[in-house]
Amino acid sequence: MNTQNNMETGFANELLPEELRKAQEAIHLPEVQEMLKQLAAYNLGICMPHMHDEETGNFKTLPADMIQIESDFQVSFVRKDENRQSRTIPVAWQWVDDGVKAANGCVQECVITHLQSGGEAHKTMHSTY
């Protein structure tokens, strides 16, 4: 299985917080690769939920009460209880406490644009949360 390690990517894993370093190292374990193989049968994969420090850009562990939102190609993070997005579909999950929780997801909405010519144009917008 091709799993890029720090030698292949040029990134030094020791720069990661311990939780994220553990995730990067775990992808090389046979049991994790077997889980990935099983997930692939359902068109699922493995991700490493994370965010970045606003000042340094360094990787940070994504807190359990936060989700990632992408809107108009801009990524932001909000508390899960503050997410007011409707029409969302989860696209990444985490095991938190005693169950599965969404880590991020997508928002798809339709926008009708009124043209100067008097017609209308339909545009589907896609965002990720």
Same domain? For 83 and 38 the reply is no
Same domain? For 32 and 89 the reply is no
Q: What pLDDT is attached to residue 2?
A: 42
Task: Provide the strand spans (E) within 1-129.
Answer: 50-52, 59-61, 66-71, 74-79, 88-96, 99-114, 120-128
Chain CA centroid to CA 83, Å: 15
Same domain? For 67 and 57 the reply is no
Same domain? For 73 and 108 the reply is yes
Tokens of 58: 């360094």
pLDDT band of residue 123 (cuts 50, 70, 90) is: low
Same domain? For 35 and 88 the reply is no
Same domain? For 75 and 120 the reply is yes
- Residue 59, pLDDT > 70, answer yes
pLDDT band of residue 7 (cuts 50, 70, 90) is: very low
Same domain? For 18 and 34 the reply is yes
Domain count, the chain: 2
Domain enclosing residue 70, as ranges: 63-129
pLDDT, tens digit, 9 for 90 and up, residues 27-52: 999 999 999 999 999 999 988 888 88
pLDDT band of residue 55 (cuts 50, 70, 90) is: very high
pLDDT, tens digit, 9 for 90 and up, residues 61-117: 988 888 887 666 667 787 877 766 655 667 788 887 888 877 776 665 545 556 667
Contact 65, 53 (CB under 8 A): no
Mean pLDDT of 13-26: 90
- The C-alpha atoms of residue 3 and residue 6 are separated, in whole angstroms, by 10
Residue that is last in its domain, among 9, 26, 61? 61
- The C-alpha atoms of residue 38 and residue 33 are separated, in whole angstroms, by 9
Contacts of 112 (CB under 8 A, 6+ apart): 120, 121, 122, 123
pLDDT band of residue 6 (cuts 50, 70, 90) is: very low
Selected residue with higher pLDDT from 128 and 27: 27
- The C-alpha atoms of residue 35 and residue 22 are separated, in whole angstroms, by 16
Mean pLDDT of 54-59: 90
